[in-house]
Structures are given as structure tokens and as C-alpha cells.
Amino acid sequence: MPRDLTVEAFLNVERSLTGRTWIGPDANDLRLAEAMAQQTALPAPICGVLVRAGVAADGAEAYLAPSLRELLPDPRGLQDMGRAAGRLIRAVDRGERIAVFGDYDVDGACSSALLILWLRQMGRDATLYIPDRIDEGYGPNVPAMADLAARHDVIVCVDCGTLSHEAIAAAQGADVIVLDHHMGAETLPPAMAVVNPNRMDEDRSLGHLCAAAVVFLLLVEAGRLLRERGTRGPDLLSFLDLVALATVADVAPLIGVNRAFVRQGLTVMARRQRPGLVALSDVVRLDTPPTAHTLGFVLGPRINAGGRIGAADLGARLLTTDDPAEAAALAARLDALNEERRAIETEVRNAALAQATARGTDGALVWAAGDGWHPGVVGIVAARLKEATGRPAVVIGLEDGVGKGSARSISGVDLGAAIHRLAAEGHLEKGGGHKMAAGLTVKADRLEPAMARLEELLARQGAAEGESRALTLSGLLMPGAATAELIERIECAGPFGMGAPAPRFAFADCRILDARRVGESHLKIAFGDGTGPRLDAICFGAFDGPLGDALTGHGGRRFHLAGRLEVNHWNGRSRPQLRLDDAAEASVA
């Protein structure tokens, strides 16, 4: 996207080493941050972060300490909530047979675990059913639902089911409850209750919730019904680690109640009371308190690995077990599957990128399809294509004349709506999702026209302009000011993630004091400005791009450096560190 020439480049960096323009806070933001600092006595860097998040001075204190009590919406504001909660309570009271049908991703595993653990504490067991990604595909299918209905009184579909009309109709003799967040169609499936903030007849004010959050709201409503009759239900706050994990892993925007879910869920997780998460943390040698980054990039991918290339129910089983030995075995298996997934992903990513590049990456859509591409990695590869090109991306694996694929979008482009329309027009066998991610099934002989039509729909939303290559910075710091105390206080403005990007700071005119390669492609440096303490920095994948060679071969040149601050915990010591994202030569900037 062409840069807006009316915006002055921060530190005059028009084109950094990675080809980006640096954009800092504008004059109005600086004035508001200064006024907030005077009114609240908060450090100026924190005030800058809050202003960029749209927080006013009188709301700073509440924002820094998000209260679940204040932010939690009334569950009864969602359609069918009362009916679903009431039916679940009746099933518990009557000792009815309950099945939980979940998706195979992290959100599905967490949603399934929430229900199963709640029912277990209510004295009831439930059957877990997670479909196989390859053999059954996403969501309820006719054979599985018919079989479950023959053996159960109630089937609860979590993180799926909103578009499963035929499969739910096949559940004869059982009441089906759908707890989902994927975009709905004009007609609902024949379930007794469909609780989904993205139903067509909802106002979408809670459309940012993941499925686990919807399940949590159901349990809140069930708890209210129990209290009305003088019964005490399970402690729902103890389940927030699962809601937080699902929220981050499903890339739900960290706004509103989602911030409180993740903030408080991380606190719950830090207590190490869930055997499955303790075992998985130990496998990856996590020896520091968990963060949103931990959930999204360390734990989440491993829980996902079972659904991608292994047994689909491994993640949910890990989250529901109360046996430390079983948890350790499951965690080890998921970690091994994740390594296998990485190898498969690399092979498919290289092929997909080459194909997409040959086709062209300057339109409204980037896509690739290949015979035998593993359906468990196409979503990850689509995300990599999106990141590399700044365009919505679709990656499809072809098998026996049918393609199954995943799609990822860019900010401001509603991919789910476009995929849903594509399916309604008959270009796809099926398809659905939400704004940032979607799945689809297409016949191989319809692939080209389907992708052409999808590109047309996305172009109408402005996708051809691409995602901005600008690097947005919260302000300027001196290396000596980046203390562990300041970083920990900045973290109070989090959690950071989708919809709430982590603040990045620039360090101007710095000398590289030490630079060395770490592992195959990472870079470790130390830098300073000559006026105070030096600061360490780490840049992952630096040698996959221009930063590694430029900074190791600095030759005494000075650089502007930019990235995210973090506290590095190592060997019992905590030190401030910059997660380096970009750099520009100070002499030519």
C-alpha cells in the first residue's frame, strides 16, 4: 500500500532494512499522553500505549486492571442461552447421557474441556467426540451424530454446528445444543438451542468471543440457575485458564471482556493446578509465568498438533485429565507431533510460496493448491502466505478430486463473509468461518473459478491494497530507561495480541556493542547510545532476512533499532531485553 505522504516518518525512517516506513505517535497523541501522565502520575511510555489504545485519562486505572465482574456480559443477552442452560441442568438432574462434540483445534479442545470438567464436578460423566480432520472433516457429520444420538440424550456441539443442518437433523432422539462463534446462515440447524454471538439475528456486539468464551457464558448462566434454587455450582474462575488459552490461540481480538478473560486466565494458569497444562509446560521447559505469547506460540501449537496430524482428541484429553502420569505421556506425544508438523509445514510452505509467487502476489488474494498437501498444515501455511504478502491467503490440499483448504485474512477484510457467500453461490461444497480465518471444501474442477470469484469479492473490500508495511511505534526510549520495572508496568496495559498489538519502541542512534549468531538463523546483540547502560536484544529469524547480516557486519555504523520490550528470565536472573523487529542506519535515515 502506498504510504500516506502527509504522515512524517518517525526518525525519518522512510525505508528500514526490512523495507518498512516507521510511523510514530502523532502530535495529538503526544499531547494526550503528556496530559495523562500529569493527571495519573503514570510513566510517559505507559501513557503513550494507553492513548494509542483509545483510553482516556479517567479510564486508565480501570483499563490497567480489567475486572471480569464489570466487563462480563449478561449471558441472557444471547439468543437461546436460557434454553441451553436449562436443558443442561435438566440433563444433570436426571442423570441423562451427555455427549460433547468438539472441533479439533485449540478452541474446540478448550470448549470441550470446559464442559466435561464442569459436568464432572457436577457428578456427571460425558462422552467426548472429536472428529478426525482427514476422514470426517470439520464439524458434525451424519454418521457420527446418528451414532451419538442412538446412545445419548443430549449432544452439545462446541466450536462447530452452526451450519450443520443435515448432520444435526440426523441426531434423531437426542436434543442438540450448539455453542459456537462461527458466522451463521439465514436459517439455523434443527437444534433445540443455538447459542452463537454471530447468528444472523444477533447484534454481533459479542462477535469477538471465541467458542470457549461462549461455553463459559453458558456455565455462568447455569450457575445462576443453580443459585436460584439454592445449589452451589463449580468454581468457574478456576476454568479461566482454558478460556484464556482458547481466546489467544484462536486469535480472538483482545478487547472488552476478552482482555479480562486472558489477564485473569494467566493468573489461574500460573498456579499450575491443571495437570495437562503443567505437563505441557514442563515438556517445553517453561520456567517463567505464562504470557499471552506463551499461549499463542508455545502451548497452543502443541495442543493443536493432535488435531493436525495425530489423534484428534489428544488436546482435549490432555486438558481434561487429572492423572499427572497420563498428562505427562500426552504432553510428550503432542510435543513430538508438533515437531513432525513443523517438518510437514516447511515442505508445504515452500511449495505454496513458490506457486503463489508465480501466480502473482499483488492482487486481492494469494492462493495455492497442491496434491497431497496435508490438511492439518494448510491453515498455518495460509497464515505464512498472508504474512509474507500482506494479502488474504488460501491454501488447499487436493485429494481424489476434492480440495480442503484454510484461509487467513488481513485487517479490515471480512474473509468469513466472502467464503460464506462463495458457498451460498455454489462455488464451494461448503465453507464458513469468521473475519480473520475460514475453511472451505471445493471440487478440483471448480477450483480456478472459485478462487477468481473469491478474489473479486475480496477486491470489493479493498484487499488489493494489501496490508500496510508501516511499522507503528509507540515512542522513543533510551536504552537505560528500558528497565525490568518499566516493562512489567507496560505489561499491565496488556494482554497484547490480536486487536491489541504489543507496543514497539524505537532506540535512536545506537552503537552495536556485540552481535553474534544464535542457532541457525537467530541474532543476539547488545547496543547502547553512549550515555547509559547497554541493552540486550534478540531477533528471531534475523538471518532469514536482511537484519542478521547488516547488524553482524555493522562496521561501526550506528543504527536506529525498534522492537518490543520484554523481561528475559534466565538462570534465576531477570533482565530487560528488546525483541528486535527492525533497524535502520542512523547515518542515512
Contacts of 101 (CB under 8 A, 6+ apart): 129, 130, 131, 140, 144, 145, 148, 155, 156, 157, 158, 160, 161
State residue 4's pLDDT score: 44
Alpha-carbon span 284 to 498, nearest angstrom: 24
Q: Per-residue pLDDT tens for 410-433?
A: 988 999 999 999 999 999 999 988
**What is the fold of 360-465?**
Diaminopimelate Epimerase; Chain A, domain 1 (3.10.310)
Q: Are 418 and 324 in contact (CB under 8 A)?
A: no
The answer, as to whether pTM is greater than 0.85, is yes
User: Splitting the chain (589 residues) into consecutive groups of 10 residues, what average pLDDT does each group show?
Assistant: 58 93 94 96 94 94 93 97 98 98 96 98 98 89 98 98 97 98 94 97 95 98 97 96 97 94 97 97 92 94 91 96 98 96 94 95 95 93 92 96 95 92 94 89 96 96 87 95 93 89 95 94 95 94 92 95 91 88 82
- pLDDT at residue 5, rounded to an integer: 43
Right CATH number for 10-24+473-585 from 2.60.40.10, 2.40.50.460, 3.40.50.300, 2.30.30.90? 2.40.50.460
pLDDT of residue 134: 82
pLDDT of 205-262, one tens digit each?
999 999 999 999 999 999 999 999 999 999 999 999 999 999 999 989 999 999 999 9
- For residue 533, whether the previous peptide bond is cis, meaning omega lies within 30 degrees of 0, is no
What is d(CA 537, CA 515) in angstroms, rounded to the nearest whole number?
Answer: 9
Q: Are 17 and 561 in contact (CB under 8 A)?
A: no
- The position carrying cell 491489541 is 500
Nearest to 389 by CA among 506, 333, 334, 467: 467
Alpha-carbon distance of 443 to 446, in angstroms, equals 5
Spatial distance between the Cα atoms of 556 and 512, rounded to a whole number of angstroms: 7
What does the block give as the cell for 208? Answer: 469477538
CA distances from 186 to 166, 232, 425, 440 (A): 15, 38, 14, 19
The two beta strands, 471-472 and 22-23, are parallel
CB 68 within 8 A of CB 260: yes
- The alpha carbon torsion through 303, 168, 443, 465 (nearest 10 deg) reads -60
Note whether 394 and 367 are within 8 A (CB): yes
How close are the terminal C-alpha atoms of the chain, in Å?
Answer: 21
CATH number for the domain whose boundaries are 71-334: 3.90.1640.30
Take residue 518 and report the three cell numbers written for it.
Answer: 544464535
Q: How many residues does the chain have?
A: 589
In angstroms, rounded to a whole number, what is the distance separating the alpha carbons of residues 589 and 586?
A: 5
Cβ–Cβ under 8 Å, residues 417 and 427? no
Q: Report yes or no: 501 and 50 within 8 Å, Cβ to Cβ.
A: no
- Written as nine digits, the cell of 474 is 509507540
- Hey, is 301 helix, strand or coil? helix
